[in-house]
Chain A
């Protein structure tokens, strides 16, 4: 019955709008089956968590009030008075972190399977921009409860942006909405978090998904080399999509469990005229950069260490963004996969510095 009325509806639309291109787009994609097939789920999980963010974010908006005198109070109200408010906030916070985590995992999986190569350059570029925007979501959202930790983390974060040569001081002022982190900063971060970033993110995500749907899934070299009759596929729609949905359900349950067992701290309200407490640290995905800045000496030759670090990360980010366009000569020794080793070094570096950051900030 249900299926019948659905196909009637499709028919109705089809006779008026000719849905064949849409049907084509949905049906032509097939997913190759091989030992790395599970990587194909990572992006989907990030996508699911983004949807969770949009829904819980809109719910939070119903009660959240930006402003130095109301932000902290309204979040406290959400978690103590509003029905299931604590749940909504906990899910939003947990899902934010998991989304970044899965976007990172997804990015490295497409890096190591070399899925970014021609013709998928722009899938990679939009993807990396999505990750950057995701981190922007994290940074701007962190301040919104206006608690002490976030207040000082924002002071430090925006001050680092201020060290960028030439444009730094303007960026800092624009981000802060003045010289210092105040209620004006909160208003701006709020606007960035709930309007600017969602708009940009949705736009890029649409492109990202469209590219993938259009080009189909990447096949790793080991799979491509197989004789035609050994290549096994599963249709994306409905088989893979249903597996995706099942996995989303599992992720959602994990998310609920985390939100129930580990509530997100609210901390104490920010006071712009109180000393910074011990334990000020950025969110975990900024830790490796932050820790790097601490390691660079105050002055390297004639440049300030901080500036050197920022420029370094800026250049590294740009190179990473344009990785698909970089041609590394692979001829001198085909056994040695330089790209792979660079990726491994980057991951090891990020993990080590993150651990280091946590160990050193808990003893300082």
Chain B
């Protein structure tokens, strides 16, 4: 009788203990997953004066929470691409000498159309549309 009682209590304690721990894990794990903050719905941003932007140079623009690289070519044409390297998330730059987009992290290279031409990047950079309205550069989500 007394060993039965002990067995019963042990089982009860076991189930209670394991159950309790599992029940605790769930809220802790979900607590650690950050809540989705609503993405600011940005469709276009202004990027300053088109004439004041020096040719053969670049700027990183805040597009909502994401960086976008804005390049003015030698010919005065504007190109905007996602600045987030498709390899491991670094932010790319424009190389004046080679006229290419370069990622310093692991030597990834893209052309001005965003195509990954050499190095580790697996995918092209997404491109953005650039309009000039009364000398104001406006970058918009393409498509």
Closest to B61 in A: A273
Partner of B93, one of A158, A184, A275: A275
Known: A178-B34, A294-B106. A159 touches B92 (CB 8 A): no
**With A294-B106, A364-B106, A364-B107 as given contacts, are A276 and B32 in contact (CB-CB < 8 Å)?**
no
Identify which of B34, B61, B104, B105 contacts A184 (C-beta below 8 A).
B34
**In the complex, how many residues of chain A place their beta carbon closer than 8 angstroms to a beta carbon of chain B?**
28
CB distance from A296 to the nearest CB of B (A): 10
Q: Which A-chain residue is minimally distant from B67 (CB atoms)?
A: A273
B107 to chain A, nearest CB (A): 4
A156 with B88: in contact, given A273-B60, A273-B62, A275-B83 (CB under 8 Å)? yes
Tell me if B5 counts as interface (CB < 8 A to partner A).
Answer: no
Closest A residue to B116 by beta carbon equals A298
Tell me the residues in window 82-123 of chain B with beta carbons closer than 8 Å to chain A beta carbons: 83, 85, 88-93, 103-107, 120, 122
Asked if residues A155 and B33 are in contact (CB atoms below 8 Å), the reply is no
Distance in angstroms from A252 CB to nearest chain B CB is 37
Partner-contacting stretch, out of A169-177, A202-210, A239-247, A341-349: A169-177
Contacts of B60 in A (CB 8 A): 273-275
B residues near A278, Cβ cutoff 8 Å = 104
Contact with A along B35-68 (1 / 0, CB 8 A): 0010000000000000000000000111001010
**Which B residues are in CB contact (< 8 Å) with A158?**
89
Query: Interface extent on B, as a size class?
Result: 20 to 34
Give every chain B residue within 8 A of A364 (Cβ-Cβ): 104, 106-107
Q: Do residues A276 and B65 form an inter-chain contact, with CB atoms below 8 A?
A: no
- Chain A contact residues, majority secondary structure: loop
The answer to whether A277 has its CB under 8 Å from any CB of chain B is: yes
The majority secondary structure among interface residues of chain B is: loop
In Å, the complex CA distance between A183 and B23 comes to 31
Name which residue of chain A comes closest to B58, CB basis. Answer: A275
A160 interface residue, CB < 8 Å from B? yes
A276 near B67: Cβ-Cβ < 8 Å: no
Q: How far is the CA of A181 from the CA of B103 in the complex (A)?
A: 18
Q: Does A323 have its Cβ within 8 Å of any Cβ on chain B?
A: no
User: Is the C-beta of A180 less than 8 angstroms from some C-beta in chain B?
Assistant: yes
Q: Are B122 and A298 in contact (CB under 8 A)?
A: yes
Q: Which A residues lie at the B interface, using CB under 8 A?
A: 152, 155-156, 158-160, 170, 173-174, 177-181, 184, 272-280, 294, 298, 304, 364
4 pairs of A and B residues whose beta carbons are closest in the complex: A275-B93, A276-B90, A159-B89, A159-B88
Chain B interface residues (CB < 8 Å from chain A): 32-34, 37, 60-62, 65, 67, 69, 83, 85, 88-93, 103-107, 120, 122
